[in-house]
Structure formats: structure tokens, C-alpha cells
Chain A
Amino acid sequence: MNGPFAFTLALGDDALIAAQRLAEWTTRAPEMEEDIALANIALDQLGAARLLLSYAGELEGAGRDEDALAYLRDDREFRNCLLVELPNGDFAVTMAKLLVLAAYQVPLYTALADCPDERLAAIGGKARKESAYHLDHAALWVKRLGDGTEESHRRMQAGVDQIWPYADELFAAWPDAPVDPAILRSDFDDTVTAVFAEATLTVPEVGWTPAGGRDGVHTEHLSYLLAEMQVLHRAHPGARW
């Protein structure tokens, strides 16, 4: 696949799958305000996904729109990172996932806003402001949970331990992409380690760094997520909604 198309598709898939997972929290959040906040973040991710997938479809030039890309591809054709497809777990796991995702998306979208591709630059310019809010929100909860009660500290550390290995895949070198994610790593590390320190959490030792999402080799979870997401659309081929 060519650079800009594959890259745009990967970013769009990250945002789409993140939105799908976050939306699963609707009506289940620990407090009513958080139900609204998580829906808000899911909506931002979904909005970015729609822009990115629509543009990916144009770059590809095969007549696929956002819905064709979202609903009519199988799991092996999705290019999202593994992080976003992992199940939500408890609220601590979800906040660990969101912190890692947002701490990656903020510098990514910021760099994208300055890239020569005008469409991607416009998307980056819009999405970075939203991601900055996601990062604030996740950081606040990681600190509250890490430095809250004994129980919340235990759960938050467990969440970070579970999620941390999946961060590595986000920064795999991609030299011909409009923004090479490898250059974002130090920014990410600074952000996240500062939050962990304030949250009295330990940065996990990394001995295992799962990857494969960018090549379409996913965890077992993605196929189930897609089965649910795509079921109705696929049951009515060609229908308008």
C-alpha cells in the first residue's frame, strides 16, 4: 500500500475502533458526569475517524466511502494498533488505554497539522485540540485513581501494567509516512512518565511488545468487535440509512 493511503487508513482505524470501545461505556460509567465525558471523547474519536476514512477512500481512488471502509472490511484489512481493540476492562484499564492513546495522538496530530498534505493538516489541526482534552481527562483520572484509595491504586497499577506493552507498537518507524511516529516517542514518554509520577504509579518494565495491527494481524478481540459493529450494515447490502 502507498504511504499516505495506508497511513491515513491506520489513523482512521485507530480512531474508529477507539470510538467503538469508548461508546461501550455509555450507560455504564462510574458516575453520570463520566458517562457524558466518555461519550464526548467517543464522539471526537468518531468524528476524526470519519474525516480520516473519507480521505483515505479518496486517496485510494477505488470509490470506497467512510462506510464502505468501516463496515465492509474484515479484521485482516483493518490497520489499527492493538491498543485500541483491547477490551475496556475496568475503569482503570480504560483510563490507562485512553492516556496512552491521547499521549500518542496529541503529538501525532500536532505534527500532522504542519505536514504538507493540506487535508491531513486540517484534520490534525482540528483533532489535536480534542486530543488535548482527552489527555487532560485521562491524566486527571489516572492521578485520582493512582493516588486515591488503596483499592484504586492497586487497580490503576494493574491497568497500567496490562496496557503498557501495547504502547510500543504506536511508535514503530514508518519513514515514508507524512509523519513518522518514531519521532513522537520522547514527547510521549515525557508526558506519560510525569503523569505516572504524580499518580504514584510505577512505570512497568517492558519485556514484551506485541504488535501486528498495522499489518492486519490483530488480537482475537477485533473480529468480535467488528462482528457486532458491522452486523446490521452487512445484513442489508446496498441499503441507505
Chain B
Amino acid sequence: MSTFKQHSILPGFNLALGFTLLYLSLIVLIPLSAAFIRTAELTWPEFWTIVTAPRVMASYRLTFGASFAAAMVNAFFGLLVAWVLVRYHFIGKRIIDALVDLPFALPTAVAGIALTALYAGNGWIGQFLEPMGIKVAFTPLGIFVALTFIGLPFVVRTVQPVLEDIEAELEEAAATLGANRWQTFSRVIFPALFPALMTGFALAFARAIGEYGSVIFIAGNMPMVSEITPLLIITKLEQYDYAGATALSVVMLVISFILLLIINLLQWWSRRRSSKT
């Protein structure tokens, strides 16, 4: 029989692992299992009726659609920002580099009210868009704006280190062989960045699916139109519909776990790719 742990002369393994497992069980695993166990009290048809009700389906479409669109925009601009920060020199680069993490550090409620004030009809940005017939605040477009804000750092921060590590020799070789700059980018640099780009996209997408704080202020929260799934969970909870809220949260949890699995696979692919080059 093979052993669970390899021998080491360092002390404290049992204490450290025991505490880690106890803490994780109490804080994370037991509470998370509550959602699944409570949902198991429902019969399958009951569960299915709750999680496929028309209002719920509309919230899925909105949540996934807006999250996907926001993650796509972040993939494009995140790659651009990472490129500019790694490859070019300009005044204020350091400060901009540090500020890219702002959406991680800024509480989501603050982001929510700031974006709402900006994109409302009388806001700094909204006043220019409204005459053109573009309404952002209190529409699904506002949700997209909020999700773009909170997902912004993910692609930048996953692509940046990979871009820094690409060896100049590769590009020089491409240039020597007669590739122009665009060919070098699309055939040499982009394929090397692609796994990291996909990881960043998936992280931004996963974060956007569950996002609540920054969205509810700008969304308008109209059932069937601009109501995201996390808000629907809260609404059900406030109506004391615990079964409904729990069933929806199980759907969200299963989706998060699948995304987590995909992200882990992408990161593994990304690491393998970068260790090869």
C-alpha cells in the first residue's frame, strides 16, 4: 500500500493539515453542502419547475448574455492594455498599471452607484448617449457596462506575465524569415498568448455570472427584462421562498463548479504551453 504522505523531517504536518481541513469544512464545505441537501428535499419535477420558470429563464439569458458580451470586450481590450503596458513606454505607465486592479479593490456597491450616476440621462457620459437614443442606465446595456468594469483586470493580469516571458528571439526569427509585423503577431505571438487569453476570458465570465453589487444599481431590475439571476435569488429569499432561492443557488453553484473546472484545465494548458516555449 502506498503511503498518504511522503516522509519529511519538518514538524507540524498533522496540525497544519488538520486545522486547514477543519476550517474549510466549517466555513466552506458544510455551508455549501446545505444548499444541495436542502434542495434534495424537493422532488425532481418541483426543482425543474422552479429552475425553468419563464422569469428564471429570462434571467439566465440576461446573466449569461451580458456576462459573455462583457467578457468578450474584456478579452479584446484586456489584450490591448496588456500589450501596451508590456511593450510600450509612455508617461504615467506605472500608475496606469497599478490602477488596472481598481475593479478588484473597489467595493462593488461603489462601482455600481458611480457607473449609474455616469450613465444616467443627466450623467457625464449618459448626457451624450441619450440624445443618440442610447439608454444605458436601467437597461440590460447598463448591466453589460457594470460587468465590463468588474471583469477588466482578469484578462490584463493573465496575459501580461505571459507576454513578458515571450522571448525576443522568436519574433526576431519570424522577422528574419520575412514575416511582417502583423504576421509575427498573428502567427507567433497570439498563439502563445491564446491559452492565457482564454483563461482570463473564463475568469472574467465566471466572475460576471455571479456578480451582484455593481449590477443592481444600474440594472433597473425589471422582471423578464433586466433582472439577473443573483437578484432573483434575493427576491425569492425576501418573499420567504427558501425552496426557490435554494434551487436557483444550486443551479448557480453547479455552473460555477463547471466553470472552475474549465478554468483549471485552461490554466494547466497555459502552463504547459508556456513551459514548452
A and B are interacting partners? no
